[in-house]
Amino acid sequence: MASRGNFDQSTTADQVLEGIDIAGKHFLVTGGSSGLGAETARALASKGANVTITARNLEKAKQVAEGIHAATGNGIAIEELELGSFASIRAFATRINSSDKKIDVLINNAGVMACPHNTTEDGLELQFGSNHIGHFLMTNLVSESLVEGGRVVSLSSAGHKMAPVDFDDPNFEHREYDKWLAYGQAKTANALFAVGLNSRLAKRSIEAFAVHPGVIVTDLGRHLSEQDVLQLVESMGESMSYKSVEQGAATQTLAATAPELTGKGGSYLANCKICELSASDNDVADETTVRAYAVSKENADRLWSLSEKIVAEKFRY
């Protein structure tokens, strides 16, 4: 059994929550109808938290909610949200902000991975548009509902090492589309968003974190062919190890709840620990470090400005 401060790649979400009182706190988890989102919601609900999950497929989310209620005795709420649609995001934010239920922790878990070229409803490259821009707009719009001292957790990935953000062509309008470069760019953006958001919410003592959950077999990889998987395994080399869903949900659960992380906002975590900067540009296989370009304040501010331009709205705190 892992003890506090001694967590690693084998730690589960349930173990992370041992000894932490989250009863009555409200957690909003995007992409909660499967995989890591569903497991995170279950673990939080099992400790008495009030949990809301978002999903595109409400019927699927309902089944997850029923399963969590059966397992924990705690019901969870469901909200419809399509992160590839500004209209859906704005309608969602209006519903959240008009309710009397504040958000203690927002976990931006939803995402797409290495999909064929496609665009969002608003014409953005799908991975950048859904994984980053969708969460950027939604988080800023519901930020008024975040409680003082709350947290925002964004799911990045060691895949951020595949590519930095191309600030001149984030939507692949002037370069050939590559699904892995697009994925890497989106995951870098997720990490930079945590840096940018953390500095902007500091006055309200709200902290933001980015996490790499590990390599887990979930619906996230539904677009991957057998060849894609083989290439990924080859690129990661011997260091690649799979986690269970229970283990994969641990780092984001830790970032959302651990008191020992207070004051360390803006950090990037993996295997339930804050990561050190990469010592080399050839460490794609190392899941325990983060590239400097993914936690750079300069890059974070540049991405923030670009994101505001894309959503045609400025956010001030």
Which one is catalytic: 177, 242, 268, 293?
Answer: 177
Cα–Cα distance, 130 to 108 (Å, whole number): 11
> Token pair for residue 161?
């090492």
Residue with tokens 């799911």: 155
CA atoms within 13 A of residue 282's CA, in its CB half-sphere: 0
- Does residue 177 have an active-site annotation? yes
26 Cβ contact list (under 8 Å, min separation 6): 49, 50, 51, 52, 101, 102, 103, 104, 105
CB 220 within 8 A of CB 112: yes
Token pair belonging to 258? 């651990």
Q: Are 51 and 77 in contact (CB under 8 A)?
A: yes
Residues with catalytic function: 177
